[in-house]
Every structure is written in structure tokens, then in C-alpha cells.
Structure 1
């Protein structure tokens, strides 16, 4: 799969997720064979006004390349300014968020709200493409705002006309958020309507899901979001299955614990202990979901106040099960 001048090793892509796809997790995904990683969404205004926290979201490690940094906003001029900043930070790809369904984003006319104003969306894409220079621009959006306004095909055509190098489509409407089932038919319709690469997103949790999406929709790449939470191994499993047809074994309990603790160390090193520990609580719950006594573990995670607390919790748990 190729996006602009960027050649991917495989079509397996990590979806952008706020609070999840930070630098440490992207590195783990890349290590597990992910073809392309996307950052958390970054506010255009935060970049323009030099918000310290926002600027930190642009941090890139050479080991994670190629990497796409995602920006969001609702004004062509400010999005163009943000794109120039992101391009200068060394991003391989700049992505525009037109799919986030959260109320605090939508109420500002950003994220999936832009699907309700296609003409404005088109102007934003064109402005970002011009500002990005040689850096390819991609756009991520949803099936539509709701079932009465399904316009993913229109959005894809506008994105292509405005100069986007590729689009990603989540097969749910904004109204659905993450409930119900993703509509893969809309992904196929988008793929048939444009010449640029199309990535499908929604309900990919196994290697078989990934293969089925590629077959049923004809899309060029598959984007994995919630299926990767606490499960970076999914990228290796999917890439291997697409190449060989072989299903790799699931990670052992020991491997899950080791990976959890490794991500903990990476988060603490990257963000400091106070923030790293608190952000690790969600990741730890995902890593241990479905394991014996997982509900009890979640309570302990939420009480952990230090790296040592986390290590003690997991080592005690390991001792009881292995």
C-alpha cells in the first residue's frame, strides 16, 4: 500500500485514538509489525497558541516511522497553520480528523460535525494539502452523521478533489458512536467511488476479520482501533495471516503481563510517574480483560499510585496463576 510517496510494509494500520495511541503504544504497535501508526488527535488551536501539552503530542521516534500525525479543527486558515507546524515536526503523513464523535469536539464544529458541512470540509482539506507541501494528507471520517445523512461517498470524492492522498472510513455514523455493527458496505462504496487508497475501519478484532474486510470491500488497507487496546500483538497476527494464511498463537498470560509492565515503564519514562501511572490504569484493564479476577485487578489498578505499586500488583497476580 502506498500513500503519496510513503510506501507501507503492509496494509495493517493503527487507528488514531485519544488517550491510547501515544508514542509508547505506537512504538509497541510498530514493533509488532504495524505498517503505519497514527497519533492521537492534535488541536490546531493548541499548536498555534503553543500549548505545551499539545506540542508534546507531536513527538516522534525514528523507530516508529512511517507515522501519521492527526490534527483537528474547523477553520481552513487555522488548520493550514497547524499543518505547517506538523509538517515541520517531521510527520510522514498529516491526517485530518473528520470522524471523532465526542460531544466536546462536535459542539465546536470539529470532528464528525464536519460531515454536516461538506463544503467547509473540502476547503479545510484543500488548505491543509497546500500548507503540507510534500507531506501527503489523509482524511478520516465516518459513514455519515446519522442514518438519514449517509455521505461518506460524497466526502471521499471531495477529499480526492481537494488533493487528499488517501481516506479512511469508519463504518459507523456519528449517532452510533461505537455501538452496533460497522457497515462495511459503505467502505466498499467509497472504494468504488475514488481512485486514491481507501482504508477500512470498524470491527476488526481478529486476523480473519481483517482478511474478510479486504475481500468484501476491496479496500487497500485495514485500520485497527479498539481491537488493539491492550493487544499490540494483533498487528503481528493480522500481518502474518494476510501474508501466509497462518494463525499465530495468542499471547500467553506471562507475555501479557510482561508487555503490560513494559508499556508501564515506557509511559513513566515518557510522561513522568504521576501521569504515566494514571494513564496506565486504562491500558492495564485492557491487557487483563477476560483474565481470572480481572474485576478485582481493575480495582487495584485504580488505587495504584506508583510504578512499584503496579509491579507489585502484577507480580503477585503472576504468582497466583503461573
Structure 2
């Protein structure tokens, strides 16, 4: 669904989100996504506006410590020190001491607004190989230890947690986990409406997310999953018992989605999607920011998947996506964007269509 400027949704009363002493207004969060939500993407989102709290890519606490010992800087923290606030950094591991050590560094040296702990990632590298992410949903007592240690290390900066409904449809334990998260001292809980076994198949279960709210005494509940339009964001607040929402994959090729959702919550006309010419310019600015940080060769490689995101769902975009997925040089990238990225119809074509 593409909300247009002529489509003002009925207003809904939504309070700002309170995470510890931090006020998030509007209560719309940008999800941390590995390989995507780097500084360049966050900058693009910030320019469109509408996001209450942004997050970095998730950071491996163990890798952070190792890189620090080698006097190296984690790429995933690119831009964090000088970036606008509020800003969250999400980290993952299964060792409370390592997590606390890194959390303390994120707060003390990087000055982040929120430290988020990932208990939801379902990928094998994190779950099976590192016994972290959603793997830990099997071990609530371990989660408690991790959260408690990180909260102590990061105080007074708020610590939050992100989970899934459970490990599988046969083992949905989010109600129990929610209480553990709160009792350990976390300041907010985000729940993705699928289980770890689901990965991203099927639909997010917002009823199940909503059912968690009564189990939380003081901290807010943030819902996540399948929010791909301003209308769905409004519906999430209208129909489900959540205090905030988190937008993930849908924003990767549509960084203006937050501004549309924020307008919709106020009952204002929802801004139309930018023209294809404007979207092309946005993609090129994104590319230039990445190249400036990583150099032409690595930056071009990193932008392959992002370029494909920008053209998702567009008519006639298959040729562009196919070419973008294989691009290997800066000149080739510019050529592909110029020649294959979908274009706005010519004015005479629009007039002809309107008259027919």
C-alpha cells in the first residue's frame, strides 16, 4: 500500500514513548538490521524525518573486544560518536561480563542514548554457532543475568531488549520472557511477531504481541513486524496494546516511510512517495556516503543489495535489480542507475492516461 498526500488517515491519540528518562516522539523506531542500518542509511532516514529513535547495525560484543585489542574500530559503529541523538546501539553475545564491558564502553565513550540487547536474531551464525540471539529464549535465567549485568554497567543510560515470540510455534514463551526482561531492569521490550523458526515466513502475529502487554508492570512494549505502510502503523496503535512500533525491512528501500507514518499518526495528509527521479537521487546520495567511508571498491560492493532494495516492487525494475546485484565498479553503478532505474512516466503519457 502506498499512502498518498491526499490520503489523510483518521487521527489517533498516541503518547510519546518513554524509555527510562528518554522521551521518544513520535513513538516510531527504526530497527537495527545487520548489513543495512549503517550511518549512511541512518543519515538518509534522518533527512526525511519522522523517526523517533534510530539504531545501528547489531554489534557482536565479542568482536568489539577483539577489534579493540587490535586497536581497530568496528565498522558498524561508523558515525556514532558524531551522530545526532537519540541513537541506540544493539549488541549481542551470551556472556554477561563481555556484554557489560561493551555496554559500558558504548555509554562512556560513544555516548549512545540506548543500549539494546538482541535476543531475537534467528540466523544460524548467531544462534547455533554462538548460542546467542534467539537461542537464548530457551534460557530465561541466562537472559536475566545478561540484562542485569548490562543494566548495572550502563546506568543511568537505559538498556532495552528485543525478542521474538519464542523459539518455535510449539514453544512460544514471550509472556515469561517479558517478565524476566522487566525484572532484570530493562527499560523497554521490543517483540517481533514471529518465532525464531519462522525467520521471516508468514505474517507477524500482532495479537500475540498485544497479549504480552498485561505481563509488563512498568516498561513499554514495542511491536515489530510487517509494518510497510503508514496505514499499518496507525492500525498497530489503534488495534493492539503497544506503546511504540518498530519499522524494519520495509524502510530499506523507502527511508521516507517514517515521515509518512509520523504524519498519519497526527491525522495529517500522508506525504506521497518521492518521484522516481527523486528516489534515484536518494539512491545516488546513499551510494556516495558509503563510498566516502569505505572507498569505491568496497562501497560499490556494499551497495549492491541496497540498490536492489530501492527498486523493490517497482514496475519494470527486474533488469535494474539483476544488473545492480552484479555491479563491480563506480562507473558501472552510475551507468546502471542512469539507464535502468525505473523512470517517471513522461508528462504526455500521464495526460494521455488521464484522458482515456
- Compute the displacement of 1:81 (Å): 1.1
Q: Do the aligned residues in 1 keep the contact of 2:122 with 2:133 (CA within 8 Å)? A: yes
Quote the residue 1:83 is aligned against: 103
Aligned residues: CA RMSD: 1.7
Per the alignment, in what secondary structure is the counterpart of residue 70 of structure 1? strand
- Compute the displacement of 1:295 (Å): 1.7
**How far, CA to CA, are the matches of 1:292 and 1:188 in structure 2?**
36
**How far, CA to CA, are the matches of 1:21 and 1:82 in structure 2?**
20
Quote the residue 1:259 is aligned against: 282
* Larger relative contact order, structure 1 or 2 (CA cutoff 8 Å, min sep 6): 2
- Compute the displacement of 1:53 (Å): 6.9
Per the alignment, in what secondary structure is the counterpart of residue 94 of structure 2? coil
**How far, CA to CA, are the matches of 1:129 and 1:87 in structure 2?**
11
Q: Do the aligned residues in 1 keep the contact of 2:55 with 2:89 (CA within 8 Å)? A: yes
Quote the residue 2:191 is aligned against: 169
Which of 41, 45, 53 matches 2:62? Answer: 45
TM-score (norm 2): 0.86
Please say which structure displays the higher CA radius of gyration: 2
Which of 18, 43, 58 matches 2:77? Answer: 58
Quote the residue 2:27 is aligned against: 11
Is 1:217 paired with 2:240?
yes
Q: Which shows bigger deviation, 138-147 or 183-192?
A: 183-192
**How far, CA to CA, are the matches of 1:207 and 1:227 in structure 2?**
11
**How far, CA to CA, are the matches of 2:333 and 2:293 in structure 1?**
17
Give the gaps of 5 or more residues in structure 1.
none
Give the gaps of 5 or more residues in structure 2.
1-16, 347-356
Q: Do the aligned residues in 1 keep the contact of 2:28 with 2:52 (CA within 8 Å)? A: yes
TM-score (norm 1): 0.95
**How far, CA to CA, are the matches of 2:143 and 2:118 in structure 1?**
10
Per the alignment, in what secondary structure is the counterpart of residue 54 of structure 2? strand
**How far, CA to CA, are the matches of 2:342 and 2:142 in structure 1?**
57
Is 1:271 paired with 2:287?
no
Cα deviation digits, residues 132-191 of structure 1 (max 9, x gap)? 121110000000001121111111111111110101000000010000011111221222
Q: 1:99 to 1:318 in 2, by over 3 A?
A: closer
Q: 1:319 to 1:236 in 2, by over 3 A?
A: closer
Is 1:239 paired with 2:254?
no
Quote the residue 1:179 is aligned against: 201
User: Higher helix share goes to which structure?
Assistant: 1
- Compute the displacement of 1:2 (Å): 1.7
- Compute the displacement of 1:308 (Å): 2.7
Quote the residue 1:120 is aligned against: 142
Q: Do the aligned residues in 2 keep the contact of 1:14 with 1:29 (CA within 8 Å)? A: no
Which of 26, 36, 50 matches 2:53? Answer: 36
Q: 1:319 to 1:152 in 2, by over 3 A?
A: closer
- Compute the displacement of 1:56 (Å): 2.8
Q: Do the aligned residues in 1 keep the contact of 2:92 with 2:117 (CA within 8 Å)? A: yes
Q: Do the aligned residues in 2 keep the contact of 1:30 with 1:36 (CA within 8 Å)? A: no
Is 1:109 paired with 2:137?
no
- Compute the displacement of 1:245 (Å): 4.4
Q: Do the aligned residues in 2 keep the contact of 1:99 with 1:111 (CA within 8 Å)? A: yes
Q: Do the aligned residues in 1 keep the contact of 2:315 with 2:342 (CA within 8 Å)? A: no
Which of 85, 91, 114 matches 1:93? Answer: 114
Q: Do the aligned residues in 1 keep the contact of 2:229 with 2:261 (CA within 8 Å)? A: yes
Q: Do the aligned residues in 2 keep the contact of 1:92 with 1:136 (CA within 8 Å)? A: yes
